Amino acid sequence: MDKIKVGVIGGAGYTGGELIRILINHPKVELIFVNSNSQAGKPVYTVHADLFGDTDLIFTDQLSQAIDVLFLCVGHGAAKKFLDNNKIDTSIKIIDLSQDFRLAENAGAFVYGLPELQKDRIQNAQHIANPGCFATAIQLALLPLAAKGLLKNEIHINATTGSTGAGQGLSPTSHFSWRNNNLSIYKAFEHQHLHEIGESLLKLQPDFKDNINFLPQRGNFTRGILASAYISSELQLVDAYEIYNTYYQPHAFTHVSENNIDLKQVVNTNKALIHLEKHGDKLLIISIIDNLLKGASGQAVQNMNLLFGLDETLGLRLKGTAF
């Protein structure tokens, strides 16, 4: 097939930068434009210094419709406003990385884009709502249990994200002098990603009615999410591994490890790793992803590959940092 012509709206942030990095190296993509009102006229590498020597693209404040797919990397609330204010040709596929269309009540024509949940629907969609980063890590920890109807009581989750999860703009809690050598909980029990997690679990286990208790943490590292969830369960560990391995066998990026896992295994990759442990009557599930890749831009490109009938791993076989 000819190369997929791509446009990016909101290319100056962290997710925009990671998306550009993937797209300019994707063998089936021609990146037509990167839109940024704040950076228009400047080379992309002046904002994303890691791309110096890789691309001569210039940020633009214009919108071209001579494309096949449009990525929206704008802030929450801005994606809906952008689509309300700009008439996009109906032939153009849209992948939104904000939270504007993730929930059923707001989705309209958008399909929730978690491949491990509903790959078939994604492949036949026109518009995709890319999942949130915490939501991705936590859903991957729980989907196999929900698919078997094994979520029988409340779920307890603790998850820590890197500073890039807060975006590129500075705030009191994202400044280096605050983050460094520091750790804090925020939005305890009420993080916005709980809603999309709950909707996905109900798709697989409609009778699930218990609480999802979620404690999000800000970590003093740059990128990655480590989520740990536990439930009371009568499952033996060997049976739990059988359930998880069977569920994720068709999915190229999610892997189940019998060895303990750590963030450096997934940073800079589109992989998710899962590890299980049994402690008394508690089943512990540990899930790790890179919040900017599998939790955002990498998953968005994975969804693009699925939309256009490509191998979903194309352009996403990325090497982890390891050290």
Residues that are catalytic: 133
pLDDT digit string (tens) for 46-57? 999 999 999 999
Interval 182-236: pLDDT, tens: 899 998 999 888 999 999 999 999 999 999 999 999 999 889 999 999 999 999 9
Share of the chain above pLDDT 90, in %: 87
Cα 87 versus chain centre, distance: 27
Q: Residue 316: is its pLDDT beyond 60? A: yes
Mean predicted confidence (pLDDT) in 271-296: 98
Q: Which two tokens stand for residue 84?
A: 């309300």
User: Can you give the pLDDT at residue 171?
Assistant: 67
The residues, ordered by sequence, that sit 6+ positions from 285 with a Cβ below 8 Å of its Cβ are 141, 142, 228, 229, 230, 274, 275, 276
- 3-state DSSP call for residue 262? coil
Phi first, then psi: give them for residue 186, nearest 5 degrees: -145, 155
Token readout for 2 is 């000819």
Domains of the chain, CATH where assigned: 4-130+296-307 (3.40.50.720), 133-289 (3.30.360.10)
d(C-alpha 21, C-alpha 270), whole Å: 13
The pLDDT, as a whole number, for residue 166 is 59
What is the reported pLDDT for 170? 55
Q: Cα separation of 306 and 193, whole Å? A: 24
pTM higher than 0.75 for the full model? Answer: yes
Phi, psi of 127 (to 5 degrees): -125, 140
Percentage helix, strand, coil, to 5, in the chain?
Answer: 30, 25, 45
Residue that is written with structure tokens 């990671």 in the block:
18
Mean pLDDT, the chain, integer = 94
pLDDT tens track for 58-114 = 999 999 999 999 999 998 899 999 999 999 999 999 999 999 999 999 999 999 999
Q: Checking phi first, is residue 310 left (phi over 0); if not, alpha (psi -120 to 50) or beta?
A: beta
Mean pLDDT of 128-137: 96
Cα–Cα distance for residue pair 137/18, rounded to 1 Å = 18
The confidence score (pLDDT) of residue 169 equals 60
CA atoms of 188 and 135, how far apart (whole Å)? 15
